A and B are shown apart, each in its own frame.
Chain A
Amino acid sequence: AQSVTQLGSHVSVSEGALVLLRCNYSSSVPPYLFWYVQYPNQGLQLLLKYTSAATLVKGINGFEAEFKKSETSFHLTKPSAHMSDAAEYFCAVILYNNNDMRFGAGTRLTVKP
């Protein structure tokens, strides 16, 4: 069973527009949740993480994500997109009864001038 689902393999926004990347998890117990960013020919870099503290998590580069248990979601947002935000974004989960980190399929963000 898929532990984490990212809706939309490609998202395109204009520079200055709101960025919204969607992530839903499948677990009856809230897991640990992460967002990573990958630039071309690079490894993955952590943007932010949720580990059962505050439901609104602020990360690097102006990104934030809100954990919503009722919706089993952890969507990533940024109020104003920059050209430098163009990259692939991955949502990841560590389930409560497991030890490994599983990734979603990724969402490629394109930022238009």
Chain B
Amino acid sequence: DARVTQTPRDKVTEMGQEVTMRCQPILGHNTVFWYRQTMMQGLELLAYFRNRAPLDDSGMPKDRFSAEMPDATLATLKIQPSEPRDSAVYFCASGWDRATEAFFGQGTRLTVV
């Protein structure tokens, strides 16, 4: 049963702490997306990768957010330092190519207090 796996599912952290969210895309997928979902902004695209190379991270606050793909089986989204306004659900999704659907993970619910 192929699925996108995100860890952790829930994270509560104090303001100023570093947060790392991990995503294991479906084996064989070459595209990975990171989205942030909030009530106010809806689903925002933060970054996406094709064949592990970052194609667009313009949606990501550069001063505190970073996204990487150390290898084809792992994508990471890091926030340092975290702020209360970063509280949201972060979704990772993967796909084969630009014209196919994206398969979503269950999300990481981040709460920064």
Contacts and interface: CB of A to CB of B under 8 A. Distances in A.
Interface in B70-110: 91, 93, 98-107
Interface in B1-42: 4, 33, 35, 42
Interface string B46-62: 00101000011000000
Interface string A23-54: 00000000010101000001111100101000
A11 to B, nearest CB: 16
A107 B55 CA distance: 29
A51 B106 contact: no
Given A43-B106, A99-B55, A100-B33, 7 more contacts: A36-B104, A43-B91, A43-B107, A46-B101, A49-B100, A102-B45, A103-B42
A87 interface: no
A44 B103 CA distance: 8
A90 B93 CA distance: 15
A103 B102 CA distance: 12
B113 interface: no
Contacts of B105: 43
A106 B104 CA distance: 16
B104 A44 contact: yes
